[in-house]
Every structure is written in C-alpha cells, then in structure tokens.
Amino acid sequence: MVQINENYLKLKNRYLFSQIGEKTKSYQKSHPDKNIIRFGIGDATLPLTPAVISAFHKAVDEMSVVSTFKGYGPEQGYEFLRELISKHEFEKRGVNIFSDEVFISDGAKCDTGNILDLFGKNIIGITDPAYPVYVDTNVMAGNTGNLQENDQYEGLIYLQATEENGFCPEPPDRHVDIIYLCSPNNPTGVALSKTQLSAWVTYALNHHSIILFDAAYERYIQNQDIPHSIYEIPQAKKVAIEFRSFSKTAGFTGTRCAFTVIPKELTGRDSSGNETSIWNLWNRRHSTKFNGVSYTVQRAAAAIYTPEGSKEVNELIKYYRYNTELIKSVLKKKGFSFWGGIDSPYIWVKVPQQITSWEFFDYILNNLQIVVTPGIGFGKSGEGFFRITSFGQHEDTMEAIKRIENWEWSF
Ligand code: MLT
C-alpha cells in the first residue's frame, strides 16, 4: 500500500473558509426563504472593470489567429506584465525592483504555500491570528509537530497579535528563521507603520532570517505612514519576499492573477554553509512545477496600469471603502469595539459578550442571517473576535447594517 504524507493527518478537519461555506449552505438549506448576507470570506463582488474586460476580449481574439496565437508562455510571466509591475508598483514608490525579480502566479495563497518548497528545517514564526494558509502549509510541509491541547502546533513560534500590542507584535527576543508578516493584516485589518516594519527588517538582518511579507491588501492603504511594500524599508531586499495579488486590487478572485517578488540578493544557506540564491531556487521551481498564468489573464491584469484601468480600479476600491465606513458606523453606534477598516477592507470586532467566536458566528447567522468569520479560525489569539469584510454589494451591506442596527443585542 502507498504511504501517504502523514503531516496531512495533523491538520484540523477542514479549511476555515470551507467550514464557513458548509455551515452557511446547511443553514440556507433549512431556511430557504432567508436572505443570507455574506461577510465571511473576502471575495470580490464587483465585476472586472471595463478596461480589464476589453483587454481580456482583445487577448482572446488574439488567441483565435495563427499570427497572434500563444502556446506555452514563460512560466515566470510575460515580460509586458512584469515590467509594468516593476514600474507602477515599485519604481513609482522609489523602490528598485527589476522585472525579472517579479514572478507572475495564480495567487498569493498558492505562493505563500509553495514557497516552503525552497526551505529546509527552520524555526518558523507566524503571527497569531493569521491567514490560516500560513500555518496549514507548514503543517503539510512537516515543519511542525502535532496539534496540542491549546490548539497550537508544536514547534511553531506564535507571535501574538493582541489588543494590548495593537495587533502588531514586535520582533521576538529569540531567534526565528522564517517570519510571516501580513500588512495590511488579514484578519485584523491593522497595518504596520514604517517604524514597526523597519524593526522587523532590522531583526531579520541581525538574525539572517527571511520575512515572507504578504501585501495582498496593499491597495487599501490610506495612511501616508504605512509602507505599501516592504522594500520601501532600506536593505529589505536582503531579507524579504513579497506576495501581491490582483484579487482584492481589481476583482481577480475568480480570474486568478498574482505576483511574488524575490530579490536577487536574497540568500539562504545549504547544510554545508554555502550561500545560495533564493531567486535561483524559485526560478527553478516555477519552471518545473508551474505552467504560468494564461496570456489572456495577464493581458487583463496589465490593463489596470493603463490610465482608464487605473481610474476604474481606484473607483472599485472606493466602492468597498464606502462599505467599510458604513459598517464601522453601525458598529460604533451599537457599541462594538473594533479595529482595522482604515487601511484594509477587513474590520476586526470584539465579540460583545462572554461567548466564543463560533458561538457568535451561529448567533448572528441564526438571528440576523449574516455570515462573519469567527476569529478563532485564524488562530488561538483570534478567540473573542470576529472579522467582517467590506467586499459586499452596497445593497447587501445596507441591508446588513439595518439588521445590525435594529437588533436588540443581548446574550
Ligand atoms: C479571506 O477571506 O481571508 C481571503 O479572501 C481568503 C483568500 O484570499 O484566500
């Protein structure tokens, strides 16, 4: 009989968002007349913008003609998109990222998981709460022991993000090799200031660590003091990999396009102590295990850098931001304590009474037909909180707000 990867047996039963999806489906099945409003998974609800659609159509047409047809593309991404990213996402912010340091992919979720292929045995530090993919993929890769009674995995270093530290943990006073940071943060919605991020870069330089920096929500930053890229911090190219996505920026959650930046100067060591380029390893992995994102999708993504595309994407972000403001105002009115929702589409809310975050999930689904994400799903320190997303349609958001406003909040 074939031997399986037993690390998978250490995982909790279901992926957080599948579990929420199942619970919601089962509630809808038993209450077919109820209109459920989904504030759970952060999924785009606005369609792709006109400039993106028109570029997409044009590229599809190109695929129908021999002279413009494209077969296998470069696994790393087409140069036209890599160059646009280098210029618009980095050069315009005074950051020097070469186009060949940008690797186009089908998602930041996949890349934050796949990157573990490159690393051996390391001490891994993950903020808690965190996007569940970081912990789960480390479990799959065999970087942890078993799930302990306290609901945390043996061998992982959990960097607690709590109300006391403003949900921004400081670098630990012990050594960690690989550090996961997400800013603006999923789930807390809080973003790291330049000073806070600099402290992490300094730590990584001193400890020869690598920071895996997830900036998927970068477009939602409003505050001038919040870096959009970790590479805005001097010397960060020596210690950081950055993950970005077109999903929340331009509604590509279903279309799939993202990118990861691996600077050429980033290195690790083999077991004999020889310094090795991480870029080389990722390039090798990408060429072998990935076939690239389709030409049509890359053309569609490139359209967000045209003047019209960029204007449309700004409007899209504004639309979701307006939802955030509406949600925050009703939460305030009803006396909830909450964080985030300024530089992020996520609002992190304290469960109003002494009940667990899953109990609150059930309560609000059963009584108000609203789906939120229970904080515990993002880790132990998420207990006592829930997350609301702003990615709904205005009409749904208004309706949810009405329900929250009119509800007598007693437990
Ligand atoms: C979330 O809701 O946390 C995200 O939408 C999940 C994802 O991007 O994979």
Reported as a single tens digit per residue, the pLDDT across 108-154 is 999 999 999 999 999 999 999 999 999 999 999 999 999 999 999 99
Number of continuous H segments (helices) and E segments (strands) in the chain:
12, 15
> Which of 15, 16, 17, 378 for mutating ligand 1's site (highest number of atoms within 8 Å of CB)?
17
Contact 321, 300 (CB under 8 A): no
Residue 136 has what pLDDT?
96
Which tokens in the block code for residue 241? 């990999």
Q: Tell the CATH superfamily of the 6-47+308-406 domain.
A: Aspartate Aminotransferase, domain 1 (3.90.1150.10)
| Extended beta strands in 82-189, E state | 102-105, 124-128, 157-160, 178-182
Residue 291 CB: number of other CB atoms within 10 A? 11
Residue 72: half-sphere exposure toward Cβ, Cα within 13 Å: 6
Distance 132 CA to ligand 1 centre (A): 9
Distance CA 160, CA 319 (A): 32
Residue 411 has what pLDDT?
57
- Distance from CA of residue 370 to its chain's centroid? 23
pLDDT by position in tens, the chain (length 411): 999 999 999 998 778 888 999 999 999 999 999 999 999 999 999 999 999 999 999 999 999 999 999 999 999 999 999 999 999 999 999 999 999 999 999 999 999 999 999 999 999 999 999 999 999 999 999 999 999 999 999 999 999 999 999 999 999 999 999 999 999 999 999 999 999 999 999 999 999 999 999 999 999 999 999 999 999 999 999 999 999 999 999 999 999 999 999 999 999 999 999 999 999 999 999 999 999 999 999 999 999 999 999 999 999 999 999 999 999 999 999 999 999 999 999 999 999 878 999 999 999 999 999 999 999 999 999 999 999 999 999 999 999 999 999 999 875
Distance CA 28, CA 25 (A): 5
Question: From 3.20.20.140, 3.90.1150.10, 3.40.640.10, 3.60.150.10, which CATH number describes the 52-306 domain?
Answer: 3.40.640.10
pTM of the model: 0.97
Distance CA 216, CA 105 (A): 13
> Which of 16, 43, 214 for mutating ligand 1's site (highest number of atoms within 8 Å of CB)?
43
What is the domain partition of the chain in residue ranges?
Answer: 6-47+308-406, 52-306
Side chain identity, residue 46: L
- Is residue 65 classed exposed, middle or buried when 0-12, 13-18 and 19+ CB atoms within 10 A define those classes? exposed
Spatial CA neighbour of 84 closest among 73, 99, 104: 99
Distance CA 340, CA 338 (A): 7
Reported as a single tens digit per residue, the pLDDT across 317-369 is 999 999 999 999 999 999 999 999 999 999 999 998 789 999 999 999 999 99
> Which of 24, 41, 182, 188 for mutating ligand 1's site (highest number of atoms within 8 Å of CB)?
41
Query: For atom 5 of ligand 1, which residue has the closest CA?
Result: 42
Q: Which atom of ligand 1 is nearest to the CA of 41?
A: 2
Q: Is the CB of 109 under 6 A from ligand 1?
A: yes
